[in-house]
Structure 1
């Protein structure tokens, strides 16, 4: 009995900074999912905007985020993780307050752009901080824990948002609650910086910005991964954009239910899938995830039965787990330690696919109408499958690179 207790006490644990980021991730994602997945419904029903304008507003967030992600990652390498994270989190909280009070179309464009800016600066910096304070052998576990926190917040957020009135007659309160939650996370980060400032060196002056750009954008394996991930990220964006508009006009409760199915499925399948896919390479897992993403998307337009829609969401979610968790692991495998922030920041360029697909989904809804689900989501499925040749070529390039590595011989 004492031996069992001793083993439990000696079980590997995360750094307190990592636990702080994971806890804050849960809080912020709860606040995020209370409101942002319903933003398309909010703009359409409460503000009277047509689907094309709503799609454009949502696309602006993703487009601006694409331009800022790499810069944010490099700034965190140069200035330190905490200054970048704290500043972006404070501004992000004010964005949610702005959504509650905005009325003019241009204001929503501006707020949507700021939302994308804050998210794409904060996220790669937070992932780099987790990698900084976590030993290599525990890094996969800490990213799984982070993703678990994201989806636990995703499971609770929509339910709380719907309860507070999001997607109904008034969405003021959910936006204000989200504002408060994001401000709490900013305060938590300030506390972590004060408590552990001496234990964690924030800045890295060893690599110039020019060198970072050269390292990242001459890595062929990473570039193939990034190009393929443009289409994968675009497929995922339809959950918050095209699907919310497609179902939200008539079935807000059903959309909320499917969103919860998505997040609960992540919690259920994340670790079993990770264990099963350990026998395959990261890029093989990404190809499998891409296939599941596309099939799940097509199911959203093909079915109307709740059970079949739920099955489609489970398939979609399995693709999400494979692509996003394994994607973070792959970056950790191929990124040099001295350019980690830059690699995580550059991975944000995949938001090009999110930006385009958010607009494209809204355009298809406007052009085809809400009664052409199979055609609409069939087109989106085909776009998703365009990731396959990039992942295939990336896998071949990496295999050739591994074969050409010189072997080390120990002296006799």
Structure 2
């Protein structure tokens, strides 16, 4: 694959940084509870703060990259994130972990939309699907390898080595980004807007873009569907069949790695919005299967269906944002897309309430409700597709008119 050198740098850096991330952060709750002796409710609050701050700061991070440039924002965020990881080594008081958790969410969600915008910047339209597929593959490969390395280094125990190793990985990535910034300085100048847009103007443009808003509203419910993998499903199956849940998680990881590229080739025949609608449909059907079946084979089939929905929605969603957003506002658009993850918090809470009210014996009913919640995304995607096709037709008409005048 002949991607731009910067794209390869971001993809490889994504793999290394996600490996480091999954070496430490998934075990943070265990570390805080068992090693530091912090009350479970407070541990939950510490971890939730990271998600909340990250969601709120996502738009600001992406928008800043449109004004200041991708590299300065990415380098600062990754360098600061490295310092946060070192902070966990020296933290002793509960309030320190609250501060570190907030900073962790802040710098991660400033970095992520900026990196996605940079990928879109340096990649031609016809290669964008391939480059975002490669990025998603790198994320999942890091997610598969990271926890295994973390366990070997003693993550979740008294060992502080995972935090140190992850901090070093992040610092090296920041240094590599500095090198790229120097090497591709001229291209950076070309990509920067001649007249930078203010933050207020960015917010007004982004949040009045009806195509993007319908996409964002649909993504709220799709992100909520994905949240059930770690929350509702883990409680429903994991409460009496821990081994089965662990096996399903492995099926999810293997399915992502095995199916991502075949699906990418298949979906090139269809529009991005069509792929999103299909992904949403499969998300919901996979969820319903979790409640309908008890046999491990059919649960695994449901997980494969769920995972295909995950691949379609998340990869295609990133590609579509790159198509919708004006080049000088890509960071703001990718940042604003982070608001969809509010759906994760709300839907995870709904899943917990359904389990508590209806009971664990009502799996088919519970997951049927969750499936229907997921399907609420479909009319938003349908409306967004209609408006997006109208916009594309208008652009083609304008281009033809310009050619005739010339």
TM range (shorter): 0.7 to 0.9
Q: Which residue of the partner structure matches residue 8 of structure 1?
A: none
What CA deviation, in whole Å up to 9, does each residue of 1:294-347 have, x standing for no partner?
233344455555433433322221111100111111112211122222111211
Distance 1:386 1:256, change over 3 A: same
Question: Following TM superposition, by how much is the alpha carbon of 1:289 offset from its aligned partner in structure 2, in angstroms?
Answer: 1.0
The counterpart of 2:227, out of the listed 234, 237, 249, is 237
Name the SS of the counterpart of 1:13 in structure 2.
Answer: coil
2:24 corresponds to 1:16? no
Unpaired runs of 5+ residues, structure 1, are: 1-11
C-alpha distance in structure 2 between counterparts of 1:319 and 1:153, whole Å: 20
Q: What is the rounded CA distance, in whole Å, between the counterparts of 2:215 and 2:330 in structure 1? A: 16
Q: Looking at both structures, which has the greater relative contact order when contacts are Cα pairs under 8 Å and sequence separation is at least 6? A: 1
Select the residue among 197, 219, 226 that pairs with 2:185. 197
Q: Cα gap change, 1:304/1:161 in structure 2, threshold over 3 Å: closer, same or farther? A: farther
Distance, in Å, in 2 between the alignment partners of 1:150 and 1:311 is 23
Post-superposition Cα deviations, 1:149-170, rounded to whole Å, max 9, x if no partner, equal 1111122123223444446x55
After superposition, where does 1:111-130 map in structure 2 within 5 Å?
111-130=100-119
1:338 to 309, 328, 331: 328
Residues 262-301 of structure 1 aligned to structure 2 (within 5 Å): 262-301=252-291
Question: Is it true that 1:208 corresponds to 2:203 in the alignment?
Answer: no
For 2:108 and 2:176, locate their aligned partners in 1 and report how far apart those are by CA, in whole Å.
17
Is the 1:65–1:120 contact (alpha carbons within 8 Å) kept by the matching residues of 2? Answer: yes
The alpha carbon displacement at 1:257 in A equals: 4.3
Deviates more, 1:389-398 or 1:400-409: 400-409
Question: Taking structure 1 as reference, are residues 162 and 316 closer, same or farther at Cα in structure 2, changes over 3 Å only?
Answer: farther
Taking a change above 3 Å as real, the CA distance of residues 28 and 139 of structure 1, as seen in their structure-2 partners, is: same
Structure 2: state its 5+ residue gaps: none
Corresponding residue number in structure 1 for 2:311: 321
Asked whether 1:177 is paired with 2:165, we answer yes
Tell me how far apart the structure 2 counterparts of residues 306 and 99 of structure 1 sit (CA, whole Å): 39
Cα gap change, 1:89/1:368 in structure 2, threshold over 3 Å: closer, same or farther?
Answer: farther
* Whole-angstrom distance in 1 between the partners of 2:195 and 2:107: 26
- Alpha-carbon offset, residue 268 of structure 1: 1.4
Q: Following the alignment from structure 1 to structure 2, what is the Cα–Cα distance between the partners of residues 26 and 152?
A: 7
Rounded Cα–Cα distance in structure 2 between residues aligned with 1:375 and 1:39:
34
Residue 83 (str. 1) matches residue 39 (str. 2): no
Once the two structures are overlaid, the 10-residue window that deviates more, 302-311 or 363-372, is 363-372
1:3-402 matched pairs, under 5 angstroms: 13-39=2-28, 47=37, 49-50=39-40, 56-99=45-88, 102=91, 106-166=95-155, 172-201=160-189, 203-209=192-198, 210-243=200-233, 255-301=245-291, 303=293, 305-361=295-351, 377-402=367-392
Q: CA, structure 1 residues 317+228, in 2 after alignment: closer, same or farther (shift >3 Å)?
A: same
Contact 2:255–2:304 (8 Å) recurs in 1: yes
Change (3 A) 1:391 1:49: farther
What's the RMSD between the two structures over aligned residues?
A: 3.2
Checking the alignment, whether the CA contact within 8 Å between 1:159 and 1:256 is kept in structure 2 is: no
- Decide whether aligned partners of structure 1 residues 191 and 360 sit closer, same or farther in structure 2, where only a CA change above 3 A counts: farther
Q: CA deviation at 1:37?
A: 3.6
Distance 1:95 1:245 in 2: 31
TM-score (norm 1): 0.83
Query: For residues 303 and 175 of structure 1, what CA distance do their matches in structure 2 show?
Result: 40
**Change over 3 Å in CA distance of 1:391–1:114 after alignment to 2:** same
Distance 1:163 1:250 in 2: 27
Cα distance change, pair 134–157 in 1 and its aligned pair in 2 (3 A): same
Q: Are the aligned partners of 1:298 and 1:378 in contact in 2 as well (CA < 8 Å)?
A: yes
Checking the alignment, whether the CA contact within 8 Å between 2:288 and 2:368 is kept in structure 1 is yes
Deviates further, 93-102 or 342-351: 93-102
CA contact (8 A) 2:38 2:94 kept: no
Listed one character per residue, the Cα deviations across residues 365-399 of structure 1 (whole Å, up to 9, x for unaligned) are 67777776556545443332221221122122223
